[in-house]
Every structure is written in C-alpha cells, then in structure tokens.
Amino acid sequence: MKKTKLGELEELVLLTVIVLKEEAYGVEIKRELEERLNETLSVGSIQSALKRMEEKGFLKSEFGEATAVRGGKRKRIYTATPLAIQTLEEIKEVRTLLWASIA
C-alpha cells in the first residue's frame, strides 16, 4: 500500500484526539486546539480533517452520550488507531533527526 500522508492540521487534530481520550469529539477538539494554537478554527475544517483521517484508517469512532446543549444529538467520540500512533511516531522521528542534523 502507498504510504498514507498526514497533513499539518490532520497531525494536530490527531494528537489532540489522543490527548483528549474519552472527551475526543468534534467541538471539544476544536476548543482544545483553539486554546493551544491561539487562533480560531471552523467546525468545517476540524470535521473534514476527522472524516479524512477516518477514511485513511487513522481514526475509529463511535457514538457517545447526548446532552441538552447538543439539542439531544449524540457526540461522536474518536480514538486513534495503532496505525495512527505508528505514523505519528515516524513523523516525530524524521523531525528529530532533521533537528539533530541542524544542530
């Protein structure tokens, strides 16, 4: 199989999913990332990143509980797959090596 690539935003979203654990659903990911990056993100950009990664096999998802704030609609909780973790590590390794050669 061709090696699947991760975009910059995708990588950030993926990491956030891992950080948030059971709370990793759309809006929460958006809030967390907005806070860390100190910029506003749209629901659309987060959602499309999530859907793309789910298609590529980086994420799995299942419905969580519904709340009143959500107008009775269920959350979709995302979890990273082993493939995602492996890819993230690969990326990190490449970057570390690159930084090492700069120094």
Partner 1 sequence: MSSHEAHIGPPKWSTRLLKYFLRGQYLEEIEGDLEEVYHDLLSKYSKSKASRLYHLEVLKLIRPSLVRKFSGSQKLNNFGMLKHNLLISIRSFKRYKTTFLINLLGLSTGLAAALLIFLWVEDEKSVDTFHEKDDQLYWVMSNFSINNDVNTWDYTSGKLAEALLNDFPEVEDAVRVGNGFFRPRGTIKFDEYYFEANGLFASPNFFEVMTYEMLIGSPANVITDKGLVVISDEYAQSIFGTIENAVGKTISWDNRIFSKEFIVTGVFKAPPKNASKRFNVVLNYDNLIEADRWADHWNGGYAQTYVVLKEGTDIDAFNAKIADYLTINTDSDRFHLFVQQYSKNYLYGKYESGIQTGGRIENVRLFTYIAIFILAIACINFMNLSTAQASKKVKEVGVKKAIGANRTALIFQFLSESILLSIIALVIAVGLVKLVLPQFNTISGKELVLSWKEYILPTLLLVLLTGFVAGSYPAFYLSRFKPVAVLKGKVSNLKGEEWIRKGLVIVQFSLSVIFIIGVIVINKQIDFTQKKSLGYERDAIITFREGGSDYSSPQPFFDELMKIPGVLSTANMSGDFLAADDNNSGFSWIEGTEDDDNHLFDSPKVGYNFIETLGLEIVEGRSFSRDFNDGVGSIILNEAAVEYMELENPIGTKIDWGDDREMEVIGVIKDFQYGSLHKKIEPLIIQFRERGKQYFVKLRPGSETETIAQIEKVFQGIFPGQIFSPTLLADDYKSLYDSENKVADLSNYMAGIAIIISCLGLFGLAAFTAERKTKEIGIRKILGASQLIIFQLLTNVFTKTVAIAILTSVPIGYYVANNWLQNFAYSTELSWWIFAVAAISAMLLAWLTVGIQTLKAARQNPVDSLRAE
Applying CB under 8 A, which residues contact partner 1? Answer: 25-27, 30-31, 42-45, 47-48, 51-52, 55, 63, 66, 68-71, 73-76
Q: What are phi and psi of 7, to 5 degrees?
A: -80, 170
- Closest to partner 1 by CB, 8 vs 103, is 8
By three-state DSSP, how is residue 56 classified?
Answer: helix
| Length of the chain counted residue by residue | 103
59: tokens are 């994420």
Question: Could you tell me the two tokens for 4?
Answer: 């699947």
45 or 86: CB nearest partner 1: 45
Nearer to partner 1, 54 or 88 (CB): 54
